[in-house]
């Protein structure tokens, strides 16, 4: 799989409610922290019989302020390190990757390369939404016509680059998340 083989899609997405564990991590511990945090949230949801969805990891900034957990579109009482959050709402560029997790970097690179080539400036956090994985995908990814929906979706918020000399109608700051104000 190469960066060029990943199709980038542009859409305006609503915020998706989440139940997450918040942390600050190093690059070396991201994978382990995402797995551990998603496990904590799944145990929390099962114990309370909450209808949890797919696993999600939200990377709020370059210092790797991470929120990892599950989609959860029902009210719940926070506890045991699990808090309410949401993915950012707004315009996104994304790809869908079906393949081993060690190829997620290709998906991020494809979105960044596409945004640069099409005059879009990255403007905020990025996140991954993981489908319910099937072990055989590690060695035999499905052809395009047989892909399951969203095994890994990596939207990145962006704003169109304005022509030189055009006054901006938007703040140049990335969107703030209410839990981080």
Measured between alpha carbons, how far is 90 from 151 in angstroms, rounded to an integer? 21
Q: How far apart are CA 6 and CA 23, in angstroms?
A: 30
Q: What is the DSSP string of 134-174?
A: -GGGGTSPPPGGGPPS-SEE--EEEEEPPPTTPPPSS-SSP
Q: What is the pLDDT along the chain (181 residues), one digit of tens a residue?
A: 566 667 888 888 899 999 999 999 999 999 899 999 999 999 999 999 999 999 999 998 888 999 999 999 999 999 999 999 999 888 888 888 776 777 788 888 888 888 889 888 777 788 888 876 666 655 655 443 333 333 334 444 444 443 344 333 333 333 334 343 2
The structure's pTM equals: 0.74
Q: Where are the domains of the chain?
A: 3-13+90-164, 17-86
φ, ψ for residue 161, nearest 5 deg = -75, 130
């Amino acid at each position: 799989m190469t960066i060029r083989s990943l199709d980038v899609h542009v859409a305006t997405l609503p915020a998706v409610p989440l139940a997450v564990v918040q942390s600050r991590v190093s690059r070396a511990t991201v994978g382990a922290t995402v797995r551990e945090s998603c496990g904590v949230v799944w145990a929390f949801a099962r114990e309370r019989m909450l209808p949890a969805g797919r696993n999600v990891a939200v990377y709020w900034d370059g210092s790797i302020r991470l929120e990892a957990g599950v989609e959860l579109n029902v009210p719940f009482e926070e506890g045991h390190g699990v808090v309410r959050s949401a993915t950012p709402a707004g315009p996104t560029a994304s790809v869908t990757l079906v393949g081993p997790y060690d190829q997620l970097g290709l998906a991020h690179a494809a979105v960044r390369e596409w945004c640069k080539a099409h005059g879009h400036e990255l403007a905020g956090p990025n996140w991954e939404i993981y489908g319910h994985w099937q072990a055989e995908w590690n060695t035999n990814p499905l052809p395009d016509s047989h892909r399951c929906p969203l095994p890994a979706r990596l939207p990145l918020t962006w704003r169109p680059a304005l022509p030189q000399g055009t006054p901006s109608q938007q703040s140049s700051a990335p969107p703030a998340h209410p839990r981080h104000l």
